[in-house]
Amino acid sequence: MLSTSKIVITRPFIIKKDMKHLLYFLIFVIIAVNIRAQEAPIRIPAHDPVMIKEGSTYYMLCTGLGVTVYSSKDMVNWTHQSPVFDKAPEWAVKAVPGFKGMIWAPDISFHHGKYYMYYAVSAFGKNTSCIGLAVNKTLDTSSADFKWQDLGKVIQSVPGRDLWNAIDPNLIIDNNNTPYLVFGSFWEGIKMVKLADDLTSIAQPGEWYTLARRPRDFSFSDRDAGNAAIEAPFVFKKDKYYYLFVSWDYCCRGEKSDYKVVVGRSEKVTGPYLDKTGKSMFAAGGSLVVQGDNKNWFGAGHNAAYTFGDKDYIVYHGYDAKDNGKSKLITEELMWKDDWPVVPSKSASIIDKSQLIKCFSNK
C-alpha cells in the first residue's frame, strides 16, 4: 500500500514536469526553425560592396572585372547585371602596369542629377594606385538614358613619393555642401581631400587631412604597405555627427581573414574622429562595430552605411565559414545606442543560438 500510494502521489508531478520540458523543447524547435528560415537567403558573392536605391530597385556594386553589379527589389533576392565597364579603361591600363580590368571598391552616390561612381585601380600590395570616376544618368539598364561615361583619373598615388594609397574611395558632402573624398589603405592610413564643386577633381589649393591611422613599423620601406592594417573608410552622417567607419586587420585570406569594422565620430567632417573612450582614430582609436565569429563567418568588413526609408543599414562582406571562406554579401539593419552605431550581434551572425539553448536549459 505504501508503494502504491507513493506512485499515485508522484505520477502527476512526473507528468507535469515532463510536459513542461516537452513544451520548452517544442518552443525551442519552433524558434530555431524560424531563425533558420531567416538565415536561409542565398548569399551572393561580393567583395567591398556598396548600395544605392533608384525608384523601387536596389543596386549593389562591388569589386570585380569592370565592377560587378547586382539589382534587387528587396535586398534579399539579387539579379546579376552587366558590369560597368566591358573593358579596362585605357587610362588605367597606362597608369597601373599589369592592370587588366579588376576594379576595386566602387563608391556610388547621386548628385547633380547623375550617379557618381568612384572606383580604384591598383596593383595588390603596392600603392601604384589611382581613383577614377564614372557617371551615369540612371542605373536602370532598360532606360534609353543608361550609359556609363568614364571621366578618368581623380587621384593617383606613386610608390616612393606618397606614403598613402589611392584606393577605397568614399564621397561625403558636408552640411556646407562641400565635397570631400576619403580613401586609403595601409601605409599612413586614411586620407581626406577636398574636391572641386563638380566632383571630378581635387580642389585648388589642395586641402588634405589624415583622419585615421594605426602604428606603422618604419623599418618597412616607403614602397611597402607595412603592418598598419587599416583601410576601407566610409563616412555616414546622422543627426549632429559624422561617423567614420574603417576596417582593421586583414581581408582577402579566406579562412585566415580577420577583418573587422571599427568606428569613431566627429561633429566636423574633417575630424578629429573619436571612439567611445575618447581616443582619436588618428592615434589608432576605434570602437568595434562588427567582426567575424569564426562559426558563420571568418573576417567581416569593408562596410558602407545607408538610410533606406526610415531604417539605417550596414552593408559589408564576410568570409563564409560554411563555404571555404568565400567572400559574400551581408546586409543588416544598423541600430543606434547613445548616438553610436550598433549591429545587434556585433559579429557576422544574425543571432547567437547558444543563448537560446542556455535560456531553455535553465528552466
**Catalytic residue positions, numbered:** 48, 231
How many other β-carbons are positioned within 10 Å of the β-carbon of residue 68? Answer: 23
Backbone angles phi, psi at 163, to 5 degrees: -100, 40
Angstrom distance (rounded) from CA 309 to CA 165: 35
How many other β-carbons are positioned within 10 Å of the β-carbon of residue 276? Answer: 14
Angstrom distance (rounded) from CA 94 to CA 84: 19
On whether the CB atoms of residues 55 and 140 are closer than 8 A, the answer is yes
Angstrom distance (rounded) from CA 179 to CA 113: 16
**Cell numbers given for 231:** 583601410
On whether the CB atoms of residues 214 and 248 are closer than 8 A, the answer is yes
Which strand (E) or helix (H) includes residue 58?
Answer: strand 57-62
Q: What is the dihedral of CA 66, 43, 136, 150, to 10 degrees?
A: -20
Angstrom distance (rounded) from CA 172 to CA 168: 13
Backbone angles phi, psi at 266, to 5 degrees: -155, 150
Q: Which long-range contacts (CB under 8 A, 24 or more apart) does 327-333 make?
A: 327/45, 327/46, 327/47, 327/252, 328/43, 328/44, 328/45, 328/46, 329/43, 329/44, 329/45, 329/46, 329/49, 329/60, 329/62, 329/78, 330/43, 330/297, 330/300, 331/51, 331/75
| Cβ neighbours for 29, distance < 8 A, ≥ 6 positions apart | none
On whether the CB atoms of residues 244 and 212 are closer than 8 A, the answer is yes
Angstrom distance (rounded) from CA 70 to CA 49: 10
